[in-house]
Amino acid sequence: MKPHVVVLGGNFAGLGSAQKVRELCGESVSITVIDRKNFLLFVPNIPAEVFEDRDPSKTLAMDIASTLDEDDIGFIQAEIKAIDPDARRVDFVPNERPGAAPESMSYDYLVVAVGNRLAYDKIEGFAEHGHTVSDFYYGNKLRHFLAHEYKGGPVAIGSARFHQGDGTKDVKLYGGHAFPSAEAACEGPPVETMLSMATWLGQHGKGGPDKITVFTPAALIAEDAGEKVVGKLLEIAGGMGFNYVNEAKDITRITKDGIELASGKNIEAELKLVFPDWVPHDFMKGLPISDNEGFVVTDVTMRNPKYPNVFAAGDAAAITVPKLGGIGHAQCEIVAKQIAKDLGKMAPVEADKPLEPVVYCIGDMGNNMAFYIRSNSWFGGPDQILKMGHMPFLLKMQYKNLFFKTKGKMPEWGLDASKLLAEKLFAA
């Protein structure tokens, strides 16, 4: 029988891993993807849709089953309940209709790409008084609030504290650089949201940046982008009038009147736009493949050291910090190359190239403008680049269009073309 590759998760990292395994291993493997939902949620463009008053559920969902079927990849819509790496088994419950019986599936290779739980339920007062832009429901809830309830009061935007775990303590990057520790899971979204919100306020005659306070649990917001990039961002934001609170420590409580921070500071706000802690799913905790928080431990080839037939990609991997799509995309290719190497389809010299994480971030600013960041300095690399203007906005929109057109199979030249356009041929 063919080796069976089971991929847990069907969003960016899961879809990308399954497609790359098929591309590099051909018909020598059978592949099954399991996900609780039957569509891919295109998260990066939700803020842009919301602030343009468009329903993101109508423009940012892609059917998973038909997409995978094009490459003869099986799909099961189910809730994953357990992983037994010794028995090489995954337990799940089909969830198309309530009442399904528990099922199990064996694997030869397992790719854990289930993402995380976004722990809004850990933030006191979020359900009653908080907003965010991380999925269709919350995006449309914010659209309704802005259109019908918001009276033009102050706005607070920021992150809860992230609990990284110890899964990267032995990982070295870029020639021996120790793996960094993050206080926030990913702060591209807060920066994007604050800039887009300021544009929205101006367009609707409700003020400008001075009405917005952005906060971070860390000493420096978006620290993974590098001190040079963040310093420039803060200089620009300060000149525009944004208010900035660092070392907030965590979100203690959201109330009708604002946000209470663990640092002891309170921010007055009518609109509270927050981003939560990113925590592993419950079934990931306590496993021999997981760290003390529940993230999957891997080396720089995305293999688990104890179970070399278990891989991780995307946000479920301990090594994915910040929780950023560009890093997950690189990991998908590494996973596929490693499996191809095992099956004699690729030479070790090509397959064993280690992960070298890079922060790629393009954030909408409104008015057909966006910022572009490419940086690896936080990991020990040499690069820190920031650009702002119309070209990054076009890149962000065209990436989404191309992703849907190709069903996630982005061309190999895509990243190089983006770098050329944004960094070399850049025009504001």
Give the confidence band of 411 by pLDDT, cuts at 50, 70, 90: confident
Cis peptide bond N-terminal to 322, omega within 30: yes
Condensed to tens digits (0 to 9), the pLDDT of residues 317-363 reads 999 999 999 999 999 999 999 999 999 999 999 999 999 999 999 99
- 350-355 long-range contacts, CB within 8 A, separation 24+: 351/301, 352/301, 354/300, 354/301, 355/173, 355/300, 355/301, 355/302, 355/319, 355/327, 355/330, 355/331
pLDDT of residue 428: 45
Pairing of strands 359-366, 369-375: antiparallel
| Mean pLDDT, the chain, integer | 95
Cα separation, 387 vs 362, in Å, equals 9
pLDDT of residue 417: 64
pLDDT of residue 425: 64
Its sign, for the CA torsion 58, 410, 336, 25, is positive
* 56: its two tokens: 């993101």
Query: What does pTM read for this prediction?
Result: 0.96
Is the pLDDT confidence value at 395 over 80? yes
Condensed to tens digits (0 to 9), the pLDDT of residues 223-246 reads 999 999 999 999 999 999 999 999
pLDDT of residue 265: 97
Query: Residue 404's closest CA among 15, 4, 119, 9?
Result: 15
pLDDT of residue 175: 85
